[in-house]
């Protein structure tokens, strides 16, 4: 298991387009990906699950990977979040 914390900096947080981009990137990896916000954990490869978090700008999330390429996956996803999903 490998995880990193990151703050959502894009204006709308994990709304439909950024959530879709997150899931597309997460699906490129074999590892299980979870997003944790407060005490809620969701499947990072499920659009419904990610949208249900209601993660808005300024919220800190933890991205957790578990599997053969977990570290690579988490680092890539954190980078995606830090770049604002291309919205900046």
For residue 74, being part of any structural domain is answered with yes
How much is the pLDDT for 12? Answer: 85
For the chain, the domain total comes to: 1
For residue 53, being part of any structural domain is answered with yes
List residues with catalytic annotation.
15
For residue 50, being part of any structural domain is answered with yes
**Host domain of residue 15:** 2-83
- For the stretch 42-51, pLDDT in tens is 999 999 999 9
For residue 10, being part of any structural domain is answered with yes
For residue 27, being part of any structural domain is answered with yes
For residue 88, being part of any structural domain is answered with no
- For the stretch 11-63, pLDDT in tens is 889 999 999 999 999 999 999 999 999 999 999 999 999 999 999 999 999 99
For residue 17, being part of any structural domain is answered with yes
User: Residue 56: which CATH number?
Assistant: 3.30.1340.10
- DSSP per residue over 49-67, as a string? HHHHT---TT-EEEEEEES
For residue 56, being part of any structural domain is answered with yes
What is the residue whose two structure tokens read 């439909």? Answer: 16
Calpha distance 34→49 (Å, rounded): 10
How much is the pLDDT for 86? Answer: 80
Select from 85, 64, 75 the least CA-distant residue to 14. 85
């Amino acid at each position: 298991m490998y995880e990193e914390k990151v703050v959502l900096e894009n204006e709308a947080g994990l709304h439909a387009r950024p959530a879709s981009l997150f899931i597309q990137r997460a699906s490129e990896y074999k590892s299980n990906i979870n997003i944790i916000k407060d005490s809620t954990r969701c499947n990072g490869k499920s659009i419904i699950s990610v949208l249900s978090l209601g993660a808005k700008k300024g919220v800190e999330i933890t991205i957790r990977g578990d599997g053969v390429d977990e570290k690579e996956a988490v680092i890539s996803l954190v980078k995606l979040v830090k770049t604002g999903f291309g919205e900046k």
